[in-house]
Amino acid sequence: MFRMSDVTALADTKLDPANPFAAPSSLPYGLPDFAAVRIEHFRPAVAAGIAAQRAEWEAVATDPTVADVVNTLDALERSGELLRRVLVVFHTLASSVGGDEIHEIESEIAPQLAAHGDAFWLDRRIYQRLESLASATPLLDLDAETTWLLENYRKNFVRAGIRLDDAGMDQLRELNSRLVTLETEFSQRVVKAMEAGAVEVEDPARLAGLDEGTLAGLARNAADRGVAVNHLVTLMLPTQQPLLTRLTDRELRAQLLAASEQRGTGVDADSDTRAIILEVARLRAERARLLGYDHHAAYIAEDGTAATTPAVNEMLARLAAPAARNARKEADELQELLDADPDVPAGATLRAADWSYYSERLRKERYSIDDSVLAPYLELNRVLDDGVFYAANRLYGITFHERADLAGYADGVRVWEVKEEDGTGLGLFVGDYYARVGKRGGAWMHNLVDQSHLTGRKPVVVNNLNLTPPPAGEPTLLTWDEVRTCFHEFGHALHGLFSDVRYPTLSGTSVPRDFVEYPSQVNEMWMANPDVVGRFARHHETGEPLPAELLEKVLAVAGYGEGFATTEYLGAALLDQAWHQVTPEQVPTEVDDVAAFEREALQRAGVGLELVPPRYRSTYFNHTFGGGYDAGYYSYIWSEVLDADTVEWFTTEGDIDGDGGLNRTAGQRFRDTLLSRGYSQDALQSFRDLRGRDARIDPLLARRRLTD
């Protein structure tokens, strides 16, 4: 394992000036020059980046002068420029492009980076300088952000294990190295499992219910992957698959859901994740014990706004019973539809694979809503220009200017320059909307460049979705849920773009996990604003607006199915907690025990409904076993408390012109008090600055129909 003492040997690691990472990007806003990067550039750049940052840390640790803001905090914040340049490009390609070569390097460097992090967080000399600086703060008159940064460094050193003895630190290093290796392998296997689980369909008649555009996409899937069948249904990351709403073939629906749920269970040996799950759960529990916590979930909650696992458990338990109750009522309604279906044998019982199909049927019958009728009015470019971007302009005054001269990292990736109301450049927004072989599933946002007044950088942020590419020359038509995802991920992007802080580690979305989803969920509200939807929901051929009566039905149906949606989500959140609220001795030992552990956890929590499988089963739960949201998947519902309360603020106090809060005054207040603050202060204080009080749960309960 690396120690800080290894810096002498690392100092000889020099980077060839011809390597594109050797110098900062010369492109606008520091956008990485993806076109110049080749696979062979990564390994030497990572090695040189680690060496350079070790030398920078060593200089701080051995500085003979008294610790102050410039020689300690600023120096630490400025360190690692080379490593940051290479890793942001590498991780972008690893998640959005993939491929065997990238995955090989990813597996290779993951333990190196874990050791590199330990070299910093377990260095007692740097910690002592921070302690010395903290002792002197009464004499230094530090500003609030700098004080907050100092306290966060000190807290994170303690959480990272700085108070362990030498033997404990050695054990911690081994645990961290092994865990990051396992998390990387889990993520890679999840991608392989999605590819391996794709459902081949030889007989086109089995695809009844799908439109021509979708059929063409499935045919292209087969051609792109060299499959000798007419059509290939590829899998999305969550358990429920989009086509389940439309496929009339009941057995094909069952086959598709089974393929989704069986990912990682040993059906395909190369993507079996069960042994990884058990080892990750055990090692995380061992690490938590070493650091003085009851379990890993307690360690994670402490660093969030929830603070404790009892608080998390209380929230989830409060929601589970009414959510399951509502799901059972919905199931009874769907059973009636199945009973009336002449194509289903008499006496048939509703199955999990039937839920989405009959739920869609019910929506059509009760609300006359059909995704195929809506789709022509939901074209991607119009959703972006006249929906997502338009709402941001109304609220914040910003404008978007596509930069065709700036290249992304793959075909179809687009770049926009974002400008303030006065024309000043704010940053870049990168949109990667389409699925591709090797790209991980789901939707997410990440930064290519972090805003910081210390470094003088403006933000460059990326939104990723996984839309099915349309046939050449055809428009990309969305579902209503996909429109919601566009608005959601752009809420994250705004959090990054509006960051206005001094220190890069406090920039943008660096807030606690159980707060980070809050701004993105708030941004979803604008898709249903009458002015916004009236602009983007227009027929892609005629330009005619979505008929008013159809829009009314779309908005009326928004609350339907909350029983299923909430139960499905809670199933995943409670599974995440169950795996991480155990001691090392309580973790199962056999791979065949994974399913039993999951089943018992769901039953114990009251959400073990056979008809409502969790949004992610353990074997493909990348949020938690791939790292990033481990013991933190509860964050979405926790953040939604803040979100629902803020939506109420926009539509009451912020609704100054009868526009539902879609005005510059409300937008500027939300930007100034919350979006711009990053993590430069306590996250909940930012909420209090907006609302003048703590959040209330009532708006969330009403939204999800969980009140008595």
Could you give the residue numbers annotated as active site?
Answer: 489
- The C-alpha atoms of residue 63 and residue 57 are separated, in whole angstroms, by 10
Q: What is the DSSP letter of 46?
A: H
Question: In angstroms, what CA-CA distances link 183 with 90, 160, 189, 598?
Answer: 17, 18, 10, 19
Which has the closest alpha carbon to 112: 40, 49, 199? 49
Angle between helices 352-367 and 250-261 (to 10 degrees): 120
Chain centroid offset of residue 563 CA: 23
Position 115, amino acid:
A
Q: Are 59 and 75 in contact (CB under 8 A)?
A: yes
Reading the block at residue 561, the tokens are: 């199915």
* CA dihedral of 480, 482, 486, 487, whole degrees rounded to 10: 40
CA distance 114 to 478: 40
Phi, psi of 467 (to 5 degrees): -75, 150
Orientation of helix 42-61 relative to helix 124-140, angle to 10°: 50
The candidate with the shortest Cα–Cα distance to 483, out of 384, 360, 412, 356, is 384
Collapsed DSSP state (helix, strand, coil) of residue 600: helix
Which segments of 424-510 does DSSP mark as H helices, in order? Answer: 480-497
Q: How far is 467 from 479, CA to CA, in rounded Å?
A: 10
The secondary structure of residue 433, as a DSSP letter, is: E
Give the whole-angstrom CA distance, residue 578 versus residue 274: 16
Contact indicator for 61, 123 with CB cutoff of 8 Å:
yes
- Answer for the pair 244, 353: CB distance below 8 angstroms, yes or no: yes
As a whole number of angstroms, the distance between CA 290 and CA 313 comes to 23
What the block records as the tokens of 337 is 């539809």
Using left for φ > 0, alpha for ψ between -120 and 50, and beta otherwise, residue 478 falls in beta
Q: How far, rounded to the nearest angstrom, does the alpha carbon of residue 190 sit from its chain's CA centroid?
A: 15
Assigned token pair, 517? 């989803």
Tokens of 63: 């500085």
Structural contact between residues 494 and 523, judged by C-beta atoms closer than 8 angstroms: yes
Rounded Cα distance between 259 and 253, Å, is 10
| 3-class DSSP assignment, residue 59 | helix
Structure tokens at 249: 């073939």
Give the CB-side neighbour count of residue 271, counting CA atoms within 13 A.
Answer: 23
Q: In b/e form, how buried is each residue of 379-406, taking b as 16+ CB within 10 angstroms?
A: bbebbbebbbbbbbebbbebbbeebeeb
Structure token digits, residue 158: 């303690």
Please give the Cα distance from 216 to 469 (Å, whole number).
10
Element containing residue 446 per DSSP (H, E)? strand 444-449
